[in-house]
Amino acid sequence: METRKSSEKFVVPIGPQHPALKEPGHFEFTVDGEIVTGASVRLGYVHRGIEKGAEDRTWTQNIYLLERICGICSHVHATAYVLGVEKLAGVSAPPRAQAIRTVTAELERIHSHLLWLGVAAHEGGFDTLFMYSWRDRETVMDLLELISGNRVHYSTNVLGGVKYDLDTEKMDAIRRGLDFLEERTHHYMKVVTTDETFLARTRGVGLMTREQAEALGAVGPTARASSVRRDIRIDAPYAAYPDFPVKLITDDGGDLLARFVVRLKELFESYRVIRAILDQMPEGELTTRVPRRIPAGEVISRVEAPRGELFYYIKSNGGEKPERIKVRTPSLCNWGTVVSVAVGHKLADMPMLLAGIDPCFSCNDRMVRINRGQGAQFWSWENLRQYGIEYYR
């Protein structure tokens, strides 16, 4: 590191390794004193080549792979994939399977939002809220473990249905867990909206108008906190959402506080929907038969992940393996809002602003094309392979 002259810009790097980041990403904030005058983001540190890998696996094997795109919203990735494949195959999972898929998805949303609440509080230096919300999050983790046997990758979905059934005992356990969580969520809502020191860190910070949110293509709770009416569960209902509609939660604040409020209110909505489904759980089979070879064609599958719209494009050539799977995760849509909103804020607000969109790094890592000077360097698969052989020779 060389000494910088005072006339040069003072850049504070956050990442790739930084206590505020749980996954690697690189942000450069140009600061003037404490005020941020410029921001840039660079991703791509944990690119795993999953889309390419998916082309080499059968339709069934891909569920396993795609669930591992994200450790927090794993179920919703599998749901988007199986819904798309089922549409291509022209089958539809039985109503009970759809209901169980939705219950798991909403439980996952609860665990994701509680996790986010803790992380965001920690970024703001409110560790007590962090510890308490993560303690309570264990309840929903236990419920997910009860249903599927796994705390993180539930692998509930199979092509044409689900693996696990819900019996009365499990339903009662879920209801009890939800009662406890609902009571706690009321408490967190009170803390977030009344604690003066916390409000000082969230109110009016990261203000994004509705026009900005729409222009930047924000999705999910980030967009809904700027009163953009956008929720796939309502706009294009899938799984059991046509029968058990959710209410759209928006807030016109547009600041960090609004993002807290929207996510907490969505928790209440999730509790309500899960209870409604459990009360009127359809009877019937858990799976239908799906052919090994999926008919040729292409399909778009959209679901609402905890962070916003998750988009899958699936193309089949009629074989046992997909021709192409394209994933666009919600975090990728929301980065633009951070970078454009950051300017003019204090450096101390940056971690909370970053956390405000509930970022997930590894799921949105792309191949990055770096332009150095005039010539762009572009390596194909063959080049990379050759490089690897040369390197280890």
Partner 1 sequence: MNTTLLSILALLIFPGGLFLLGYGLAYEYVDRKLVARFQNRVGPRWFQPLADVVKLLAKEEIVPHGVQRGLFIFLPVAALAAALTAALYVPMAGQVPSYSFNGDLIVTIYLLSLLTICMGLAGANTIDRFSVVGATRVLTQLFSYEAPFLLALLSPAIMAKSWQISEINIYTHNNLWFVLTQPIGFLVALVGLMGKLELPPFDAPEAETEIVSGALTEYSGRGLALFRLGKDVELVIGLTLVAAFYLGGIANPLEFVLKTLALLVVVAGLQSLFARLRIDQTVGLWWRLGAILGLAQILFVIFWRLVLR
Binding site for partner 1 (CB under 8 A): 1, 3-4, 10-13, 18-20, 31, 33-34, 121-129, 131-132, 135, 195, 197-198, 200-201, 346-351
Distances (CA, A) of 339 to 105, 125, 208, 216, 273: 30, 22, 12, 10, 35
HSE of 226, CA atoms in CB hemisphere, 13 A: 24
Q: How far is the CB of 351 from partner 1 (least distance, A)?
A: 4
Nearer to partner 1, 131 or 215 (CB): 131
Q: How far is the CB of 42 from partner 1 (least distance, A)?
A: 17
Give the containing element (helix H, strand E) for 32.
strand 26-32
- How many CB atoms are located within 10 Å of the residue 88 CB? 21
Six token digits for residue 276: 């409604």
List beta partners, residue 313: 300, 326
Residue with tokens 């191949």: 367
- Distance CA(378)–CA(380), nearest Å, equals 7
- Distance CA(42)–CA(29), nearest Å, equals 12
Q: How far is the CB of 346 from partner 1 (least distance, A)?
A: 6
Q: How far is the CB of 16 from partner 1 (least distance, A)?
A: 13
Nearer to partner 1, 39 or 249 (CB): 39
Nearer to partner 1, 126 or 335 (CB): 126
- Distance CA(5)–CA(7), nearest Å, equals 5
Q: How far is the CB of 19 from partner 1 (least distance, A)?
A: 4
Q: How far is the CB of 358 from partner 1 (least distance, A)?
A: 15
Q: How far is CA 199 from the centre of its chain?
A: 25
Nearer to partner 1, 274 or 350 (CB): 350
Nearer to partner 1, 4 or 187 (CB): 4
Nearer to partner 1, 256 or 363 (CB): 256
- Distance CA(339)–CA(4), nearest Å, equals 24
Nearer to partner 1, 22 or 52 (CB): 22
Q: How far is the CB of 125 from partner 1 (least distance, A)?
A: 2
Rg (CA), the chain: 22
Instruction: List the one residue out of 81, 56, 47, 55 whose CA is nearest residue 67.
Output: 81
